[in-house]
Amino acid sequence: MVKSAYEYIKENLDKSLKERLIIWRREGSIVKLEKPTDIARARILGYKDKKGIVVFRVRVVRGGHKRTRPKKGRKIKNLTIRKNLKMNYQWIAETRVERRYSNLEVLNSYKVGKDGMHYFYEVIMVDPQRAEIKNDHNYSWIANKENKGRSFRGLTSAAKKSRGLRYKSPELKVRPSLTARGNRGK
């Protein structure tokens, strides 16, 4: 069977991942990249090597997203530490990058690796003000005002997956709904 060039690149990525993770741990939590690490995955998700498209690597700490315990002046039942699992790690990574670079919009993201402490994601971002983006029919939709802050509003692919909107089967609908859970004691 004949392999494509992207399959050979993927094999080399898997071999050198351990050494890369050691370097990535020492870097900052959000790092701007010249080129994506996994070019095949990035191209599938909409990356092109042109002006106005930027890739960032984000480091997210693993663990159960626990909320902080409130300090004094509360009822005892409100002092419990509940897990906040409404957002998956990939969605958290996208929102962190968009919060730091507010002039850019999230196009998509993918997981690059993980170790015992962190997940590493690469987020593809687009500058909607650039003429190259506005004139390209593949990216001109992101320049519209209604697409501002996509990751904050849960409109990226990872966010839709976390919200349960990926599949339309009625068996996969989360029951009870979030509002119904709040009204359970009434």
**Do residues 103 and 127 lie in contact, with contact meaning Cβ atoms separated by under 8 Å?**
yes
Domain with 51 in it: 5-182
Check whether 177 has a pLDDT greater than 70.
no
For residues 16 and 175, which has the higher predicted lDDT (pLDDT)?
16
Q: Provide the number of structural domains found in the chain.
A: 1
In this prediction, residue 120 carries a pLDDT of 97
Q: In the chain, what is the greatest distance between 2 CA atoms, to the nearest angstrom?
A: 67
What percent of the chain is helix, strand and coil (3-state, nearest 5)? 40, 20, 45
pLDDT, average across residues 80-108: 88
Rounded to the nearest angstrom, the gap between the alpha carbon of residue 85 and the centroid of all alpha carbons in its chain is: 15
The model's confidence at residue 21, banded by pLDDT at 50, 70 and 90, is very high
Tens of pLDDT, residues 71-92: 777 777 777 776 667 788 999 9
Q: Taken in order 135, 138, 141, 147, is the CA torsion positive or negative? A: negative
The model's confidence at residue 5, banded by pLDDT at 50, 70 and 90, is confident
Give me the CATH number covering residue 37: 3.40.1120.10
| Report field, pTM of the whole predicted structure over 0.85 | no
**Do residues 78 and 92 lie in contact, with contact meaning Cβ atoms separated by under 8 Å?**
no
